[in-house]
Amino acid sequence: MIGLLLAIGLLIISGIGAMIASARPRIATMIGVGGTMLGGLLGIIPAIQVLSGHAIAPIRLPWSVPYGGFYVHLDGLSAFFLIPMLGVPALAALYGSRYLSVSDGRRRLGTHWFYFNLLTACMALVLIARNGVLFLMAWEVMSLASFFLVTFDDEKEHVRQAGWTYLVAMHLGTAFLFVLFILLGKQSNSLDFDHLGSAVGMIPANAGLLFVLAIVGFGTKAGFLPMHVWLPEAHPAAPSHVSAVMSGVMIKTGIYGLLRTLTLLGPPAAWWGWLLIGIGLCSGVLGVLFALAQHDLKRLLAYHSVENIGIIALGLGVGVLGMSLPSTPLMVLGFAGGLLHVVNHALFKSLLFLGAGSVMHATGTGEIDHLGGLMKRMPWTAVTFLIGAIAISGLPPFNGFVSEFLIYVGGFEGVSASHISPMIAGLIVLGGLALIGGLAAACFTKAFGIIFLGEPRSAHPAQAHESPWAMRLPMLALASGCVLISLFAPLVFTWMEPVLVITTGLRPDQLNETLVGKVELLNYVVILGVVFMAVALILLLLRHRLLSRRQVTHTVTWDCGYARPSPRMQYTASSFVQPLTDLFAALIRTRHSLDTPSGLFPRHASLTTNTPDIWREHFYQTAFKAIVWFLARFRWLQHGHVQLYVLYIAITLLVLLVFKVG
């Protein structure tokens, strides 16, 4: 435990050192990046020890804060989340060391690395905090640090707007968490987690309300629909390595908080599982549909975070429903699939955001319709992006398929059950996952095909070049992780035993008894995956050898009547997915703007599409306008005189004192 605290301390100290060295950007970057990588390595070591079966004693230190205490502990659940929470920022920091230095107009690098390291340290502290006050303090600082990272380019209006949207959303979620911890600690007179669990057990009637508060509070951070509106705003605004950290791992603190709350609330009710399944289905399907309709690459990836959080929620919903029945197979497979997808999503989503940053760094744009033909100019980025695209689509043989496979098996277990409730849940999960997977495959076929294949659609990709090695190495490491988890999937379950014991409440022997048949099934899947990759590699090598000595010539082909073909005749992102967006037009409400050709020899015609977030446009903006109107009624209280503001504070304190004494 001391080693982990030293790692957190190193992250904070190196961040402060980078800020002090702001006048020298190169030195500030070296201090910040070095601290992130070294601190991440030191922090991962105790997490691996815990997952290997070694217990680490908690630390309690006196703290003169009401109901607070410096109480930290690293158990299996915290350790499982801690590895990606520290590993991904370390790789992203290495990537960012060149991404920021080669981007025009970047400044305040020392301050940037201070907030980056502070974010990483607070994410780790959230995972090990065992006191409500300490948890909320780390949670709030984590939100503030990420706000300053999102608004790094604050001279741009849309970046400032995205930052404020993110900050408001985070504080709305935190308000629900305050109420959650107040109610949790009301009976026990303590906010230490070990006391909270025993207190909740005595008042099961309140458990449902507490679960809903946790869903809203932690779901806002995770990106559950409809609390997701900050995601497609913040990720396109933030630097790409920051987007990788926020989407890959930071939003998983919401999943961790929800799981930790479940361990405190006692036996769950069946409707908890149904609620998670419903949230997962809506987030997964609508997230991928909105991603299909996007033109900006990072905005597309942001909506896929909503989709994959939905897949995780589906797995957790199956697990919670299995606990309520009880059904050991549903419980184990649901939690195992959902938790493994947490790690898998951290790998392939971080990889895809880094790939998007590499494309933007090379071309100067993230607009998909302005790109094309980048595979020849950026082969490393193209191959790693393709691995991430296959993984996020849930296709074999990569890691996204493994975790979704477990949830699929859990759905089949539900369908084969004798009770109607798990049968219906199983059918919903199977149908939802199949629809999500098919739409995701279509979306990334569009993204990869339009960006990396074909011909350049504008001047942006014409002079593109491969990224420096400092940016390539993190992408290669994450791509390797996607492959290795798929190849060693059966061994991954031995590392998951400590976290599954905590989340399911089962003994290790009960877990092994349930998983033994599923692990054997995974072995066959892994073998087929290895055969598939070997055959693909052999075919690529054979193709290369057959074509290596062939002379390549260029000539005019039959052009079907097109006398002057141009790159504009290729598929656009909109036209490629138009059949799907038209099919689901009632859900996503894409707007079309058509400039029709006119005359015998028309020279101009265009079609543009726009798909705004319906939740943001029809709910949140309306609510925010109403709040602004209401608060404007009290503007007469603002006189600009400090003396009057002090008087307001004094009157408020006096009223509170009278209320307390009375």
Residue 114 has pLDDT above 70, yes or no: yes
Burial of 287 (0-12, 13-18, 19+ CB in 10 A): buried
Residue 456 has pLDDT above 70, yes or no: yes
Sign of the C-alpha dihedral, residues 389, 392, 395, 397?
Answer: positive
**Residue predicted with more confidence, 213 or 563:** 213
Coil vs helix vs strand at 204: helix
Q: Of 280, 277, 273, nearest to 321 (Cα)?
A: 273
DSSP 8-class letter at 232: H
Average pLDDT over residues 505-529: 78
Residue 103 has pLDDT above 50, yes or no: no
Share of the chain above pLDDT 70, in %: 95
DSSP 8-class letter at 453: S
Instruction: Tell me how far apart the alpha carbons of residues 74 and 100 are, in angstroms, rounded to a whole number.
Output: 34
> 127-145: per-residue pLDDT in tens?
999 998 999 999 999 999 9
Q: Of 305, 303, 313, 254, nearest to 281 (Cα)?
A: 313
Q: Are 572 and 605 in contact (CB under 8 A)?
A: no
> 347-373: per-residue pLDDT in tens?
999 999 999 999 998 898 888 988 888
Coil vs helix vs strand at 129: strand
Q: Of 145, 127, 349, 342, nearest to 245 (Cα)?
A: 349
At 102 the pLDDT is: 44
Q: Give 385's pLDDT tier (boundaries 50, 70, 90).
A: very high
Q: At 129, phi and psi to the nearest 5?
A: -65, 135
Alpha helices in 505-572 (DSSP H): 508-548
Tell me how crowded residue 641 is: count the other CB atoms within 10 A of its CB: 9
At 277 the pLDDT is: 95
Kindly list the domain boundaries of the chain, sorted by start residue.
Answer: 267-518, 614-661
- Describe the crossing of helices 270-292 and 573-583 by its angle, rounded to 10 degrees: 140
What's the maximum distance between 2 C-alpha atoms anywhere in the chain? Answer: 94
For residue 62, give every residue at least 6 positions away whose Cβ sits within 8 Å of its Cβ, in sequence order, or none.
69, 70
- What does the mean pLDDT of the chain come to? 87
Average pLDDT over residues 256-260: 94
At 560 the pLDDT is: 65
At 525 the pLDDT is: 78
Q: Are 60 and 70 in contact (CB under 8 A)?
A: yes
At 356 the pLDDT is: 94
Average pLDDT over residues 619-646: 78
Amino acid, res. 324: S
For residue 517, give every residue at least 6 positions away whose Cβ sits within 8 Å of its Cβ, in sequence order, or none.
none
Residue 562 has pLDDT above 70, yes or no: no
Highest mean pLDDT among 55-69, 135-149, 415-429, 497-511: 135-149
At 104 the pLDDT is: 41
> 575-615: per-residue pLDDT in tens?
888 888 888 888 888 887 777 787 777 777 777 888 888 88
Q: Of 119, 102, 122, nearest to 465 (Cα)?
A: 102
Radius of gyration of the chain (CA): 26
> 36-82: per-residue pLDDT in tens?
999 999 999 999 999 888 888 888 888 877 777 888 999 999 999 99
Report the length, in residues, of the chain.
Answer: 662
At 236 the pLDDT is: 86
Q: At 525, phi and psi to the nearest 5?
A: -60, -40
Q: Give 157's pLDDT tier (boundaries 50, 70, 90).
A: confident
